[in-house]
Structure 1
Amino acid sequence: MQTSTKEFFQLLKSLKWPMKITILAIVLSLVSTVIGLIVPLVTKDLVDTLTTAAFNWKMIALLLVVFLLQAIFGGFSFYLLSYIGEYIVADLRKKLWSKVLHLPVTYYDENESGETMSRITQDTTTLKSLITDHLVNFVSGVITIIGSVIILFFIDWKMTLIMLVSVPLSVAIMIPLGSKMHKVSKATQKEMASFSGLLGRVLSEIRLVKSYRAEKTETTSGNDAIQNLYRFGLKEAKIQAFISPFMTLIMMAILVTILGYGGLQVSKGILSAGDLVAIIFYLVQIIVPFAQMATFFTSFQKAVGATERIQDIFHMDSETIDTTEKQLLMDGVITFENVHFSYGPDKKIIDGISFEAHPGTVTAFVGPSGGGKTTIFSLLERFYEPSSGTILFNHTPIKELSLPAWRSKIGYVSQESPLMSGTILSNMTYGMTEIPPLEKIIQAAEAANAAGFIGELPDKYDTLVGERGIKLSGGQRQRIAIARALLHNPKILLLDEATSNLDSGSETYVQEALERLMKGRTTLIIAHRLATIIHADRIFFLEQGEITGSGTHEELIAEHELYREFTHGQGLS
């Protein structure tokens, strides 16, 4: 609990605070609170005047002026404190978003995207709620309580001591309840993240759900998650149901005691009627913030729990991004030297692969599914690091190269070719720091055999493609992906089953576009349709993470039995 609280304050300290506005807000809050503390004293004098003399209009006017000043300063301080809260939470979200984008692919292998979304949205919202909704009242409330207690000591110190007896009692109850609330809040946020993960997973594949009539199954899964959230919500409510009435009970007991004791003192002439009215005013100014502290206390525990989850992300290792200078990489040989890779101790994927891919050549990988072909591409793009062995470019280990410079050399076209929600134009230029002239974009579309269908669309290049490009056919998405690769002009091209999911008509268009894209580039291809790679300079046959054969198409037919079976099965001699 103490560690969590420490991390919470460390997180707040690390955020960007608008210092001038913060100082101004605190000053205005102090002024507003001081003015609020003056009100009971003015009221005291007014009551004492009414008991001894005629009605005093000057005192009434003074009281109205004090009320007006308190409202003005209080309004400004409230807005500025809220502004500060929004400002620092916006800074937190920017840092968290940047961190998430630079986490390695292994993080996304192990965590659902919905859970990550929950941390960026819901956990930061919990923190924002504390700062903007409760911290403002807490700061002004603490100042009010301290000021009221000091003034009450001057009016009647015995009465003030009676009131302060309640403080240790309240703290003794609140500390264990706070620890309990922290655990419940953390569990609630974890469950909410799981529910967000479920929503993201199901809604992103809603067509799959409907195709296999899985609505009932997903309804059950969703209901179970909602029921868990319901139970955690009840646990929070039980704790809150004890905290709020307990605080109210203590305050009412103090109020009754003070009124009884104060009335006795007035009857004895020790205190004036104005003194008793002022004491009651100050009691109210203490009771109201004290009651609000119960809400702040609950919100604080939730924010501490949210902070733990946010800090978990900040403490993770990011991909190494060199922003000092862009490393210039020339064309060169790609070399795998005895590379091993596994996803875990019992899941070996790549087992001692070695090969070279020379500039301007076409290197193909074929073999049964699960042989490690796509993993080779992932290792090349540095999504993962080899367990052992070395991947080199121009005799330099790629892990020593600038990551942005290395990835800028690579163009990737997969069998899925996912598109981002947006326009055709935004997808073609995705990832580019500078948008090229329209003429160059049209040229890329023509080279990718995409200009024809784009020209037939009502909005042309401004056509919205829908989530993941759902409004376009598979062949159209592939051609947009090829046009994007052409615009980026990579030196190394990775083609992962780029035509495997297409009909014969679309495949012809895409294959033509791929051939244009491959010219003058070092190309690595994963293919199940061997007809697309029979002219490759080098073909490697992979089985269970090992290269069991290599050579040209003709050489493998002559020397590799399984490759020969593959070619006969696809009608190739």
Structure 2
Amino acid sequence: MARSNTPPTAKEGKTNWKAFLQLLMQANPPKLILGIALGLSVISTLVSLVIPLFTKNAVDSFSVSSISWAQISGMAIAFFGMAIGSGVSIYLLNYAGQRVVAGIRDRLWKKLLVLPVSYYDNNETGDTISRMTNDTAVIKGLITEHMSGFITGIISIIGSIVVLLYMDWRMTLIMFSVFPLAFLILFPLGRQMFLVSKGLQTETAGFTAILNRVLSEIRLVKAANAEPGEYAEGSKGIGKLFQFGLKEGRIQAMMSPLVSFVMLMLFVVLFGYGGMRVSSGAITAGQLVAFMLYLFQIVMPITQITQFFTQMQKAMGATDTILKVLDHVEEKPHEGDSVKDASQSLHLEQVAFSYKEGEPVLKNVSFTMEAGKVTAIVGPSGSGKTTMFSLLERFYTPQSGSIKLGSDSIEKFSLVSWRSQIGYVSQESPLIAGTIRDNICYGMEREVSLEELKQAARMAYADAFIEELPNQYETEVGERGIKLSGGQRQRIAIARALLRNPKILMLDEATSSLDSKSEVVVQQALQNLMQGRTTLVIAHRLSTVVDADQIVFLDKGKVTGMGTHQELLASHEMYREFAAQQLQLQDQQAAAVIPQLAEMAKHEELRA
């Protein structure tokens, strides 16, 4: 049975606390700094527990004569120490949070670069970007804004309760009679907030994917007059985000008044009961004031703890999506042997492949690409030509059969070593945003000298137009090379391949989208590139491969014919039809191309 080309994640299931903590620990958090920050927060909290006792004594024995400089100094030092400790703690927590997020993002970035092509076939780019930006920001917010409040809040609540029970256990029990009621009301709302938050994260990722898709192809959008359709799609996403925002707002609108109502009711009851206790002499006025201050030190942390759990639920959802990326089966770029001799023939033996089970793209394909010779793959669209290139690049693995270099399966070699033997020039020749030098040298691990750069450009017939540019090799090409023409982009791609000096060359009809003048120049550059290399060409036009050493005709994933141009004309009916249709066009275009060929010949004489 065929294997799936979308590897499952290593772990499935609901994210738990253990997974979240493992994610944090694997990000190598600065433990010492976190410990200092939390220690300072704890000290500040403990100091704050002493302040109501100072206030109690001051109220009970208040008179001008009773106030001493020691009391004033003690209060001032306590407040000043709290402020300094809190400020330093906040900064250190932010530092720790940023370090943790940087660690997670570094792991994600490293992972994204080694994920197989199949992952990107099944996941939108914008969704993946959201994992790197939005989800990690949620985790950072938990650490920098809520973790300290959670820990110090628990200490503040426990400390305040202990002191309150010591001061007046009756009033303390009255106070706590309200909290179970508040919990029963607020817990279901907190659960709803978690579900809304998780849905909001999912919709945000989806909306990011729409933005990335549309903005990266804005020229296509405008050329196709697709603005209304894309606006409608984007508006739908905005509307969903709006609805989730309203749900979140409704829950908050219920929670905030409920909390305020419970607290107000509690204050009224305690003030009333406390006033009675003061009037009866059971407690002093200072004790009542201190009691109310401690109550504040319970109420405020409860709010912080509630926010912590809300943010924690968001962070758990973010962890779940991040782990799905981190746990995905990845490529092992350096695992395997180095290619010793790539100047050998390539053999495809009974190769079968499908993207989806039950929908084969290649069916038992077998042929040999002789070392140093040109093999062309021709056939109708959808016959599997580009898929064959992807298998040779090892973007995918055949479900059955094998691809061999000489007598060794290419799976034996490390991906880095194998791909370094291949030069690939596609129809579109993708360029990165940067300079011409950046694009020609892209992927080179060593420093490339200016002379090497110019030599590669010269052999690719790119030197003439590059040297006419104001900044020459330092000219910015724009996003995806938009500032250059199609022929110029192709020649830079050929120069890049020449600089790598590959032993195996794959050409995905590199001239099919060019005008006749550009095609002449690019074809000449390709002749330079193909010399002495094992070359595989995808041909959409037979006129470009009639001189190939071998032509393989591929139809519906099967090899239906092999041989030279003349041999296939004599033996393959569909090839004859292709030739009859396409070579007529060649004759019609010859008159336009001949003057350009003469110009090329003259230019060659001058270069010589």
Deviations 1:516-544 (A, max 9, x none): 11122111110112222222221101111
* Contact 2:546–2:565 (CA under 8 A) maintained in structure 1: yes
Alignment of 1:10-29 (within 5 A): 10-29=22-41
> How far apart are residue 479 of structure 1 and its match?
0.9
| CA positional deviation for 1:322 | 2.6
Deviation at 1:176, TM superposition (A): 2.8
Distance in 2 (CA, whole Å) between partners of 1:133 and 1:20 is 18
| Correspondences of 1:327-406 after superposition (within 5 Å) | 327-331=338-342, 332-406=344-418
Note the C-alpha offset of 1:6. Answer: 4.5
Aligned partner of residue 128 in structure 1, secondary structure: helix
Alpha-carbon offset, residue 147 of structure 1? 2.1
- 3-state DSSP of counterpart to 1:50: coil
2:262 is matched with which residue?
Answer: 250
| Match runs of 1:285-364 below 5 Å | 285-322=297-334, 327-331=338-342, 332-364=344-376
Map of 1:385-464 to 2, 5 A cutoff? 385-464=397-476
Which is worse superposed, 138-147 or 47-56? 47-56
Counterpart AA for 2:150: F
Work out the CA distance in 2 between the residues paired with 1:171 and 1:428. 64
Assess, with a 3 A threshold, how the Cα gap between structure 1 residues 394 and 45 changes in structure 2: closer, same or farther. Answer: farther
CA deviation after TM superposition for structure 1 residue 2, in Å: 7.0
Q: For 1:169-212, what per-residue CA distance to the aligned partner results, in whole angstroms no more than 9, with x for missing partners?
A: 34433443333222222222222222111111111221121112
The 5 Å alignment of 1:41-60 reads 41-50=53-62, 54-60=66-72
Query: Partner letter of residue 113 of structure 1?
Result: T
Percent identity over paired residues: 51
What letter corresponds to residue 412 of structure 1 in structure 2?
A: Y
Q: TM-score, normalised by structure 2?
A: 0.90
Matched, 1:148 2:151: no
1:569 aligns with 2:571: no
Q: Does 1:515 align with 2:530?
A: no
Structure 2: stretches of 5+ with no match in the other structure: 1-12, 588-608
Superimposed CA distance per residue, residues 543-563 of structure 1 (whole angstroms, 9 cap, x where no aligned partner): 111111101122112221221
The aligned amino acid for 2:122 is: E
Aligned length: 572
Which secondary structure does the structure 1 equivalent of 2:139 belong to?
Answer: helix
2: CA distance, partners of 1:434 / 1:462: 18
- Structure 2 Cα separation of the partners of residues 260 and 303 of structure 1: 42
One-letter code aligned to 2:499: L
Displacement after TM superposition at 1:74 (Å): 0.9
Check if 1:76 corresponds to 2:88. yes
Instruction: Supply the distance in 1 between the matched residues of 2:74 and 2:138 (Cα, whole angstroms).
Output: 42
What is the letter of the counterpart of residue 419 of structure 1?
L
Q: Is the deviation greater in 509-518 or in 263-272?
A: 263-272
Helix, strand or coil for the counterpart of 1:439?
helix
Give a deviation string over 1:114-169, Cα, whole Å, max 9, x none: 11111211111222222222223223222222222222222222322333334433
In the TM superposition, what is the alpha-carbon distance from 1:310 to its structure 2 partner?
Answer: 1.3
Superposed, which structure 2 residues align to 1:179-258 within 5 Å?
Answer: 179-258=191-270
Q: Measure how far apart 1:265 and its partner are.
A: 2.1
Matched, 1:278 2:310: no
Contact 1:329 1:406 in 2 (8 A): no
Structure 1: unaligned runs, 5 residues or longer: none
1:115 aligns with 2:127: yes
Residue deviations 1:364-413 (CA, integer Å, cap 9, x gap): 10111111000000011111111211122232222232111111111111
Alpha-carbon deviation of 1:303? Answer: 1.9
Cα distance in 1 for partners of 2:290, 2:512 equals 84
Which residue number corresponds to residue 101 of structure 1? 113
CA distance 1:21–1:564, shift in 2 (3 Å): same
**Residue 15 of structure 2 contacts residue 317 of structure 2 at CA under 8 Å; is this kept in 1?**
no
SS of 2:583's equivalent in the other structure is coil
Partner Cα separation in structure 1 for residue 177 and residue 306 of structure 2: 18
Q: Which residue is 1:486 aligned to?
A: 498
Q: Structure 1 residues 224, 244: CA separation in 2 closer, same or farther (over 3 Å shift)? A: same
SS of alignment partner, residue 236 of structure 1: helix
- Cα distance in structure 2, aligned partners of 1:510 and 1:115: 38
Deviation at 1:53, TM superposition (A): 5.1
Cα shift at 1:51: 5.3
CA contact (8 A) 2:55 2:290 kept: yes
Partner Cα separation in structure 1 for residue 332 and residue 190 of structure 2 = 40
Alpha-carbon distance in structure 1 between the residues aligned to 2:508 and 2:291: 79
CA distances 1:6-30 after superposition (whole Å, capped 9, x unpaired) = 4333322332111111121122111
Assess if the C-alpha contact under 8 Å between 1:130 and 1:300 holds in 2: yes
Say yes or no: does 1:169 pair with 2:181: yes
Return the alpha-carbon distance in structure 2 between the equivalents of residues 146 and 458 of structure 1.
Answer: 72
Distance 1:489 1:161 in 2: 82
Q: 1:17 to 1:326 in 2, by over 3 A?
A: farther
Match of 2:566 among 540, 554, 559: 554
Q: What is the alpha-carbon distance in structure 2 between the residues aligned to residue 156 and residue 281 of structure 1? A: 14
Q: Cα distance, 1:294 vs. partner? A: 3.1
AA at the equivalent of 1:71? A
